[in-house]
Amino acid sequence: MRIATWNVNSVRQRLEPLTAYLREVAPDVLCLQEIKCEDKAFPRAEIEDLGYNVETHGQKTFNGVAILSKTPIEVVRGLPKFEHDPQARYIEAVVSTDHGALRVASIYLPNGNPPDTEKYTYKLAFMDCLIAHAASLLALEEPVVLAGDYNVIPTPGDVHDPKAWAGDALFLPQTRAKFQELLNLGYTEALRASTDATGLYTFWDYQAGAWQKNNGIRIDHLLLSPQAADRLQSVTIDKELRAGAKPSDHVPIRCELA
């Protein structure tokens, strides 16, 4: 079972690389963030033609999340107990598999900058609600993958220059502590279960030659419940997409579950 997540940074602008990825990598489930369109504007037909079921939680111009699945899915739109959030940042699906149900969420966590504004307060409130919901999912004792753009740099080894990011909302101690709180519930971060290597990034800014200099950060994550972690076989960052035509500033990261 191949589960991938990708902040596509406008699905209509990245439709060609997206459909190429679906054809070539063929994930069983792909979680998308920043689709940047309302549900009715999502390029559903082009993706359904490739054999995918499509569920979206869109928003005009900003944000928006989606789940694409080779098998039928049932979804919940919006983070439970945070439903009145006007920003489309969470969609959760139960995916039918040959080995039973798998629960997958596509998450676009708030950026939170500048950190001395209500934007950071909103980020922490979202994280608190996500932590509470993630805890409730563990009680189901089923395979769960919480996938997405967390806008969290977990450790100094996940950023090219820790000092340059010291005051950023993505790297503040309180942000990292909230992320660790998620892990402490019993979730496993898929990449760190497979390697301790540093310099593995999923985002490079469009500015100042960040990609060419490999000045990246790792903010896209796959968090696995114990039942999913027991099935983990491998994790891959599809870095080459950043060098392609019309790239997103993020690249996909995917895991293989037995």
> Which of 168, 201, 220, 250 is flagged as catalytic?
250
> Is 99 marked active-site?
no
pLDDT band at 100 (very low <50, low <70, confident <90, very high): confident
Cα dist from 28 to 50, 137, 178, 251, whole Å: 12, 21, 30, 17
pLDDT of residue 238: 98
User: Is 250 marked within a binding site?
Assistant: yes
What is the number of other CB atoms lying within 10 angstroms of the CB of residue 194? 15
Instruction: Report helix, strand or coil for 224.
Output: strand
The parent domain of residue 206 ranges over 2-257
Q: Quote the distance between the C-alpha of residue 62 and its chain's center.
A: 16
Tens of pLDDT, residues 6-44: 999 999 999 999 999 999 999 999 999 999 999 999 999
Percentage of residues in the chain having pLDDT higher than 90: 95
Quick check: is 52 catalytic? no
Q: Is there a contact between 233 and 226 (Cβ–Cβ < 8 Å)?
A: no
Angle between helices 173-184 and 118-138 (to 10 degrees): 10
Phi, psi of 192 (to 5 degrees): -75, -15
Q: What pLDDT is recorded for position 98?
A: 79
Catalytic entry in 21, 120, 149, 150: 149
Q: Tell me how far the alpha carbon of residue 18 is from its chain's centroid.
A: 15
CATH code for the domain in which residue 233 is found: 3.60.10.10
Q: How many domains does the chain have?
A: 1
Nearest to 18 by CA among 146, 26, 236: 26
Read out DSSP for 72-116? Answer: -EEEEES-TT-TT-SS--EEEEEEEETTEEEEEEEEE-----STT
Which residue, 201, 176, 60, is CA-closest to 123? 176
User: Any known ligand binding at 9?
Assistant: no
Tell me whether residue 149 is one of the annotated catalytic residues: yes
**pLDDT class for 45, splitting at 50, 70, 90?**
very high
